[in-house]
Amino acid sequence: MSKIKGVIFDLDGVIVDTAKFHFLAWRKLANDLGIDFTETQNEELKGVSRVRSLEKILAWGNVSLSEEDFNEKMAVKNENYLSFLTNLNSEDILPGVSRVIDFLIENNIPIALGSASKNARPILEKTALIGKFQAIVDGNDVSIAKPDPEVFISAAKKIEIPQENCLVFEDSVAGVQAANKAGMLSIGIGDKAVLHEADHIFSSFEEIEIEFIKKLMIL
């Protein structure tokens, strides 16, 4: 394993608990189309782009839409999702995350965001985290969604750290696979059974000891 010199954070479900709002918004949209939508199916949408998510839901329900209706549904989902974020602020940063971010900054480890979301920048602004990131790569910047490694490769380039020296924090199966494909150290945040492809798994940032991160930096 290579020494860690740069860290890439996923956003939804890692820094803020917005994954639950994506779930609620997709479930409403699916149900309105007469399609069932379970939490297990939702795991398959985590880290996946908006377009790809709607394609998957329609395929599960065997529903097809015209291009116009498809785009309209995506807009409706996003409006509904954004309505949950109205009062989002720094108190919504998940427990333990700021402690790790601040430790990395104090130790001159560059940090980047690698998110599939097109709403990443406003979320980082609302939570007052935007100034802490040296680079942001989000759904507006990439052409191929996770599990393709493009988002993380691009983030590593922006912070000028070789891919093998990067660590990725991810809550999604697609994101863990993307980090692994990029040859980065993957740390899953969430359920061990779901994220079993990750190099290390923690149920939340609160479980991560600073000592553990220090060790990765001095290997």
Span 112-131, contacts to ligand B16 by CB under 6 A: 115-119
41 binds ligand B16 (CB under 6 A): no
Residue 9's closest CA among 170, 204, 127? 170
12 binds Mg ion (CB under 5 A): yes
149 binds Mg ion (CB under 5 A): no
Q: Nearer to Mg ion by C-beta: 115 or 163?
A: 115
Residue 191 is among the residues annotated as catalytic for this protein: no
Residue 5 near which of Mg ion, ligand B16, none (CB within 5-8 Å, type-dependent): none
Q: Nearer to ligand B16 by C-beta: 118 or 200?
A: 118
CA dist 169 → 2, 63, 151, 204, 214 (Å): 16, 34, 13, 11, 15
Q: Would you put residue 28 in left (φ > 0), alpha (ψ -120 to 50) or beta?
A: alpha
Can you read off the two tokens belonging to residue 48? 């996946």
Q: What binding mask, one character per residue, do residues 35-54 give for Mg ion by CB under 5 A, x or -? A: ------------x-------
Quick one: which segment of 31-39, 44-52, 179-187, 197-205 binds ligand B16 (CB under 6 A)? 44-52
End-to-end CA, the chain = 8
Span 3-22, contacts to ligand B16 by CB under 6 A: 10-13, 19, 22
Those residues with Cβ within 8 angstroms of residue 4's Cβ, 6 or more apart along the chain or in another chain = 109, 165, 166, 167, 185, 213, 216, 217, 219
138 binds Mg ion (CB under 5 A): no
Residue 32 is among the residues annotated as catalytic for this protein: no
Count of alpha carbons within 13 angstroms of residue 35, beta-carbon side: 20
Enzyme catalytic residues = 10, 12
